Structure 1
Amino acid sequence: MQLVIEWVTNIILFLLFAVIIDFLLPSGTMQKYVKMAVGLMLVLVMLAPVLRLASVDPEQLIASALVHFSNGRAGEEAIKNQIEQQKKEIQASQRAYILKQMAVQLENDVNEELMEKYGLKADVNVYAKPGDDWRMPDDIKTIEVVLSKQKSAGSVEPVVIDTTKPPALPEGDASLAEEVRAFLAGRWEIDEDKIDVQFRGRE
């Protein structure tokens, strides 16, 4: 738009200039040549935008168009990559939430019975195979079960810490772990190999 305004302004100024010259020149043969020269100059002023376009190097014009096009494509690629990254982050948070809810559900399913049978409370963590399309329970990698001994309120036993000796596994823990693992596998209907049983707070 600015180019058109500038072009029209140049034509009007040139016409005013031509009229002033026409008034100042005396009539005669000289006036005829001046009018012809002014007419040619007016044609040049009117053709200025076309001449300006013709003076542009075609290779430079094509190169600038290609740069503009490639910048547009690069911007689109960046937006697509950003959307894909956000999608992956949302999926990862959804998977973490699902696994957490699954762990809570598994805890609620067995804790009451574990307390009655063994006097134990389970803290459960569920780990699944990476991937977007889950098939449960096939894609469960490990169910980590941390068992803690629940003692009746009021009974306090002295705690003895001996740092000179490595912590020893109490007798019967290994067999208890196997028994609890078998119980959990049957209760949750999952392969025993996927259940990792550990003890917490055992001296």
Structure 2
Amino acid sequence: MNLIAEWVMQIIVFILIGTIMELLIPNNSMKKYVHIVIGLLLLLILAKPILYLFSVDVTTELKKIEQTIFQDQHALTESKNLLENQKREIQAEQDAYIWNEVKTQLMNEANPVLSEQYSAQIVHISFDLRDEELDKDDNLEKIIVTLTNENELNDQSVIKPIIIETEQERKSHEENNQIRSIRKKLEQIWEFDKDQIEIIWEGGAT
């Protein structure tokens, strides 16, 4: 912008000087040559921007412009990536908080019933999700419930007697029946499909 202003100022000043010289030079044969010289000088001044372009290394200037654009794009990309990472972190914290609240609510609804009818307690709940989005109704693939027997919680220090094979089989059969009953009860309490509920006894899986 400064170069353009300087160029226009030079044209104005030269025209003023040329006008004054034309007025001062007497009207003779020399005046024609003065006109030619003034015209050539004015032409050079008017052509100064073109001469300036030829004097500049166009390739270097284009590389500078390209580098500036690339740096701006790189900075914009980094800012965008940082914003996306922060957004994902906030979303992950919100998801974790929501699922923790859901887990607490489910345990509070089920534990009193399980304690009264089965002498069992839910000690942990985990969720198997189809994806990480919370806004889908079919997002929950499976709810994994870890149970423990209240008697075992109260009698952890008691040494358990050795059980022979037939008693182990009977106990396993009783536990399977109890698990099916608990699964059905949880299905009623939570209004989940029974296929979505997986029960694990603490110390073993079913």
- TM bucket (normalised to shorter chain) is 0.5 to 0.7
Aligned to 1:179: 181
- Residue pair 1:185, 1:192 contacting (<8 A) in 2 also: yes
Q: Distance in 1 between matches of 2:69 and 2:91?
A: 33
Query: Structure 1: where are the runs of 5+ without partners?
Result: 1-49
* Matching of residue 99 in structure 1 with residue 96 in structure 2: no
Query: What letter corresponds to residue 130 of structure 1 in structure 2?
Result: D
Residue 106 of structure 1: CA displacement?
0.1
Q: Distance in 2 between matches of 1:132 and 1:198?
A: 26
Q: Distance in 2 between matches of 1:185 and 1:161?
A: 35
Q: Secondary structure at the match of 1:111?
A: helix
Query: Structure 2: where are the runs of 5+ without partners?
Result: 1-48
Aligned to 1:61: 61
Which string of whole-angstrom CA distances, capped at 9 and with x for unpartnered residues, describes residues 127-164 of structure 1?
A: 3322335234x2112111111010285796313689xx
Change in 2 beyond 3 A, CA 1:110/1:133: closer
* Matching of residue 121 in structure 1 with residue 121 in structure 2: yes
Q: Secondary structure at the match of 2:192?
A: coil
Aligned to 1:72: 72
Residue 55 of structure 1: CA displacement?
3.1
Q: Distance in 1 between matches of 2:180 and 2:60?
A: 78
Residues matched between the structures, number: 149
Taking the TM superposition and a 5 Å limit, the aligned residue runs for 1:1-203 are: 55-123=55-123, 124-136=125-137, 138-151=138-151, 157-159=158-160, 170-201=172-203
Which string of whole-angstrom CA distances, capped at 9 and with x for unpartnered residues, describes residues 91-147 of structure 1?
A: 1221122111111110000100100000000122233322335234x2112111111
- Residue pair 1:149, 1:201 contacting (<8 A) in 2 also: no
Judging by fraction of residues, say which structure has more helix.
2
Q: Distance in 2 between matches of 1:119 and 1:201?
A: 17
Q: Distance in 2 between matches of 1:116 and 1:55?
A: 94
Aligned to 2:39: none
TM-score relative to the length of structure 2: 0.62
The Cα RMSD (Å) is 3.0
